[in-house]
């Protein structure tokens, strides 16, 4: 790859690029990007010492010594992403990116399953890493660094993956990490309160998500929107202003319409109309919100050119994503225990409402809230637990650098009848011991996560493992 210095006319051969000075090797371009906690410009000297051949930095940046070309840009994050796209070049033929507060992981997982069931070589990527049959799972952030993302796209393409379902987080969109990704289809699930510690307001949060449709989705691409969501009209308007084709799904959907749903023992019986044709399918998933996630994946698959009837048949084969309404086991008295990633007010409300129809007895929930994050949602989640659950245990989530007792106190103020057990493992054990026939327990907030952040330390912790161990003990 060659880059042209914007200050001095010169071409420099680049053999790699990174925004982490520790990963710089001789011949690399180092992107010195300002962040919320660290400023990459403070690490330019380290990058040069490791052999950086070029530096990309914001306007106004100066080098102490003009030893390598310096590229200055008013939006270096976007420039870095575009350079990564050009450097790694190859991408899967069709990429469907999904944004929204809740449901992204389940939707991309379901879409990959539908494509795979139809004989396509497909992958999903996001919070759970990269998942494709025969491909090594690479763990990452929901939306990784631009260079890592484009490296993964290249490797998937070389592996023969033709279709990719990709999560698009608001952070990744705001920070231009997805710029340069060739997105053919973009999906919007919903938008509720989350990440306001970063975005500051719901307007800014929405603006970040809209970038997927206004800036990244191809001009001839298709937008797939949840018609039942509060912000559906805003998303549709932005898409139509750009002249994009829009498909909608949901009870109010015009392209994929949910006509009726009925709770059955192991899921739901759905009446769905797609492309003017109606069908009845059995959805083998627990939780009413999974209906919306399945409809989203169905609409995205149809948007990708698949036969609607064949896609509908695949819904009956879907399996839930790890840590998303995951049935871990059953108490000896028959009560099922679920683990779910719900860590926002809307997600907690959805999981409790979704499980309620399946509970003949009491609905139990164990949850907490993360530290150093939006403090306003703590009381909201407490109030939801008070209203929607019968038995509530408030515990620690990822307290990070906050006092865990303060976090729990903010939740308990809204649900004073709850039991407070600080230690998360002890809280889970106590909840399982309290189950009776007909009850349901959901351990919410951490889902698939394998660590608990206390202070600045990440300690090994997995809700699924703790639940399984507790169930074994009460069964012995």
The DSSP code sequence of 121-148 is: -EEEEETTEEEBTTBPP----SS--HHH
Which residues does 127 contact at the CB level (< 8 Å), separation at least 6? Answer: 104, 105, 141, 142, 167, 448
Cα torsion through 391, 393, 398, 404, rounded to 10: 140
**Residue for token digits 């009776």?**
436
- DSSP secondary structure letter of residue 42: G
- For the chain, domains (ranges, CATH) are 2-74 (3.40.1390.10), 87-315 (3.40.1190.10), 326-475 (3.90.190.20)
Which residues does 325 contact at the CB level (< 8 Å), separation at least 6? Answer: 285, 286, 287, 290, 338, 340, 351, 354, 355
* Of 90, 104, 89, the residue nearest 341 (C-alpha): 104
Which residues does 190 contact at the CB level (< 8 Å), separation at least 6? Answer: 100, 101, 102, 103, 226, 229, 230, 231, 292, 346
Both tokens of 283, joined, read: 């959805």
Count of CB atoms situated within 10 Å of the CB of 118: 17
Give the bridge partners for 164, in sequence order.
95, 123
Predicted pLDDT of residue 84: 96
Opening angle at CA 325, ends 376 and 293, nearest 5 = 85
Predicted pLDDT of residue 353: 94
List of E strands, 38-121? 54-58, 70-73, 94-99
Distance CA 392, CA 13 (A): 60
Tens-binned pLDDT, residue by residue, of the chain (476 aa): 655 444 433 467 899 999 999 999 999 999 999 987 889 999 999 999 999 999 999 999 988 777 899 999 999 999 999 999 999 999 999 999 999 988 999 999 999 999 999 999 999 999 899 999 999 877 655 567 899 999 999 999 999 999 999 999 988 998 999 999 999 999 999 887 555 555 457 788 899 899 999 999 999 999 999 999 889 999 999 999 999 999 999 999 999 999 999 999 889 999 999 989 999 999 999 988 899 999 999 999 999 999 999 999 999 999 999 998 999 999 999 999 999 999 999 889 999 999 999 999 999 999 999 999 889 999 999 999 999 999 999 999 999 999 999 999 999 999 999 999 999 999 999 999 999 999 999 999 999 999 999 999 999 999 999 999 999 999 98
| Signed CA dihedral, 156, 159, 164, 167: sign only | negative
Distance CA 11, CA 13 (A): 7
For residue range 337-396, what is the model confidence (pLDDT) as tens digits? Answer: 999 999 999 889 999 999 999 999 999 999 999 999 889 999 999 999 999 999 999 999
Asked if 349 and 388 touch (Cβ cutoff 8 Å), the reply is yes
pTM for the complete prediction?
A: 0.86
Distance CA 452, CA 399 (A): 8
* Of 281, 249, 293, 287, the residue nearest 267 (C-alpha): 287
Asked if 112 and 295 touch (Cβ cutoff 8 Å), the reply is no
Which residues does 108 contact at the CB level (< 8 Å), separation at least 6? Answer: 96, 98, 124, 125, 126, 165, 166, 167, 297
Both tokens of 159, joined, read: 């592996």
Predicted pLDDT of residue 140: 58
């Amino acid at each position: 790859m060659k880059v042209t210095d914007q200050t001095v006319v010169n071409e420099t051969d680049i053999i790699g690029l990174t925004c982490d000075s520790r990963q710089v090797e001789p011949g690399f371009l180092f992107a010195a990007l300002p962040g919320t906690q660290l400023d990459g410009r403070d690490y330019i000297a380290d990058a040069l010492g490791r052999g950086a051949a070029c530096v990309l930095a914001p306007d106004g940046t100066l080098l102490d010594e003009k030893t390598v070309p310096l590229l200055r840009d008013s939006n270096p994050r976007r420039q870095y992403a575009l350079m990564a796209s050009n450097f790694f070049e190859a991408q899967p033929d069709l990429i469907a990116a999904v944004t929204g507060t809740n449901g992204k992981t389940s939707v991309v997982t379901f879409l990959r399953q539908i494509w795979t069931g139809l004989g396509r070589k497909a992958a999903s990527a996001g919070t759970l890493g990269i998942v494709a049959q025969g491909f090594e799972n690479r763990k990452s952030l929901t939306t990784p660094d631009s260079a890592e993302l484009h490296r993964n796209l290249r490797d998937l393409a070389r592996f023969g993956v033709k279709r990719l379902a990709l999560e698009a987080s608001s952070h990744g969109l705001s920070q231009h990490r997805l710029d340069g990704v060739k997105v053919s289809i973009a999906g919007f699930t919903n938008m509720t309160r989350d990440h306001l510690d970063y975005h500051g307001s719901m307007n800014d949060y929405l603006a970040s998500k809209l970038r997927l449709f206004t800036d990244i989705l191809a001009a001839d691409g298709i937008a797939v929107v949840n018609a039942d969501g509060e912000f559906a009209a805003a998303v549709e308007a932005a898409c139509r202003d750009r002249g994009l084709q829009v498909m909608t799904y949901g009870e109010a959907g015009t392209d994929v319409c949910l006509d009726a749903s009925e709770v059955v023992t192991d899921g739901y019986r759905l009446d769905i109309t797609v492309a003017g044709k109606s069908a009845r399918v059995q959805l083998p998933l627990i939780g009413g919100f999974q209906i919306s996630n399945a409809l989203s994946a169905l609409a995205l698959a149809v948007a990708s050119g698949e036969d609607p009837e064949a896609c509908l048949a695949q819904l009956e084969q879907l399996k839930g994503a790890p840590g998303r309404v995951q049935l871990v086991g059953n108490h000896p008295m028959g009560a099922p225990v679920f683990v779910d990633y719900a860590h926002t007010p809307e997600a907690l409300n959805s999981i409790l409402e979704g499980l309620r129809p399946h509970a003949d007895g009491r609905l139990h929930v164990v949850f907490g809230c993360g530290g150093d994050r939006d403090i306003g949602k703590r009381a909201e989640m407490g109030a939801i637990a008070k209203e929607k659950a019968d038995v509530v245990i408030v515990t620690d989530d990822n307290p990070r650098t906050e006092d865990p007792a303060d976090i729990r106190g903010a939740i308990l103020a809204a649900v004073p009848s709850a039991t407070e057990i600080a230690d998360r493992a002890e809280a889970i054990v106590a909840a399982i011991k309290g189950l009776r026939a007909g009850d349901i327990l959901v351990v919410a907030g951490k889902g698939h996560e394998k660590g608990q952040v206390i202070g600045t330390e990440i300690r090994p912790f997995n809700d699924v493992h703790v639940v399984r161990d507790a169930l074994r003990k009460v069964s012995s």
